Amino acid sequence: MQVRQSIHSDHARQLDTAGLRREFLIENIFAADNYTMTYSHIDRIIIGGVMPVRQGVTIGSEVGKQLGVSYFLERRELGVINIGGPGLIEVDGKAWEIGNQQALYVGMGAQSIVFNSVDASQPAKFYYNSAPAHTRYPDKKITLAEASSTTLGDPATSNRRTINKFIVPDVLPTCQLTMGLTKLEEGSLWNTMPCHTHERRMEVYFYFDMDEENAVFHMMGQPQETRHLLVHNEQAVISPAWSIHAGVGTKRYTFIWGMVGENQDFDDMDQVKVSELR
Ligand SMILES: O=C(O)C(=O)C[C@H](O)C(=O)CO
Ligand SMILES: [Zn+2]
C-alpha cells in the first residue's frame, strides 16, 4: 500500500513537475494477477486496480493490518468499475458478473472479496475507490443502462460527452462514495471546462481508453495558480478540494471520477469562468 499525505495549496504551488507527479499522480493502477492500492490522507480515500489474469485476486487480511482493522471493508465501502473483459467478483460467497463498463458497490462489512477474469486472454480490469463508512448499505451491481446519464457539451468547444453516474444517490445509497464514468465523443477533447472546484469534496480522476501515443493534459491547482500533469493511459490523479480538475486530450478518451467528502451532491460545484483562470 502506498500512502500519500494531504497537501496544502501553498506547498503544491511550489512543486516542479516531478514533485507534482509524486504528490498527485498514480502511475500504475493495474498489475497482472495482483492489486494496487494507494491510500490518500485526503478524506482517506483508497484508489487502485485489480487485474486477475490466470488466478483469482483477493484483497486479504494483510490490508486489514495496515488499516488497523481485521479486514479491508470492516469500516469501509467499495466501488468498482470494470474497464476490461468480463469478470466475476465474489463477495462473501455470492458471485457477481461484472462486465465491461459495469459497476459493483460493496457495502461495509463484506469480509471476503475475490476478483476473477472469465477469459485470461481478455482480463477484467477492475478500477476501484474505497471510502470510510459508518453503516452497511446493500451490495449492488449497476449496468450502464441503470446509471443516471447526461449528455452535454458542444462540438464547437470540443467537449461533447456523456456523464454516466453509476454510484450516486439517485441510483443507490452509499455512505459517502460517488463514482461515474464520463465518455468523450469522437473529436471532443475537453472534459469539464469551464472548470470548477468543490471545497466540500475531493475527487480522483482515472483516465483510460487511450493508446500509447496519446495523453491527457490534466489541469490542476487553485484557479489562479494552475498547473498541469501529463497523464498517460490508465493513470489516476488525486484532486484535493482546493484544486480545479479538468483535462484535455490529444485524442478522445474516457475517464472515471470518484468523490468523497462532505456531501453527495454532484452539482455542488464552485464554477470558475475561463476568464478568471490564471
Ligand atoms: O466531464 C465532466 O464534466 C465530468 O465528468 C465532471 C466530473 O464528474 C466532476 O468533476 C464532478 O465534480
Ligand atoms: Zn469535480
pLDDT mean for each 10 residues of the chain (278 residues): 97 98 98 98 98 95 91 98 98 98 98 97 98 98 98 97 98 98 98 97 98 98 98 98 98 98 97 98
The predicted pLDDT at position 26 comes to 98
Q: Which of 164, 182, 198, 262 to mutate to test the pocket of ligand 1 (most atoms within 8 A of CB)?
A: 182
Q: Is 203 annotated as a binding residue?
A: yes
Q: If 0-12 CB within 10 Å is exposed, 13-18 middle and 19+ buried, where does residue 40 land?
A: buried
Count Cβ neighbours within 10 Å for each residue of 61-99 and write b for 16 or more, e otherwise. Answer: eebbeebeeebbbeebbbbbbbbbbbbbbebeeeebebb
Number of domains composing the chain: 1
Instruction: Determine whether the shortest distance from the Cβ of 160 to ligand 1 is under 6 A.
Output: no
Ligand 1, atom nearest to 246 Cα: 10
Residue owning grid cell 472469465: 118
Confirm or deny that 198 is annotated as ligand binding: yes
63 C-alpha to ligand 1 centroid (Å): 30
Output the pLDDT for position 60. Answer: 82
Instruction: Measure 258 CA to ligand 1 centroid, in angstroms.
Output: 9
Range of the domain at 190: 2-276
Cα separation of 82 and 162, whole Å? 18
41 known ligand binder? no
How far, in Å, CA of 214 to CA of 218, rounded?
13
Q: What is the CATH number of the domain that holds 226?
A: 2.60.120.10
Question: Quick check: 51 and 120 in contact, CB under 8 A?
Answer: no
Q: Tens digit of pLDDT for each residue in 98-121?
A: 999 999 999 999 999 999 999 999
pLDDT value at position 145? 98
Residue 32 is classified by DSSP as B
Whether the model clears a pTM of 0.95, i.e. scores above it, the answer is: yes
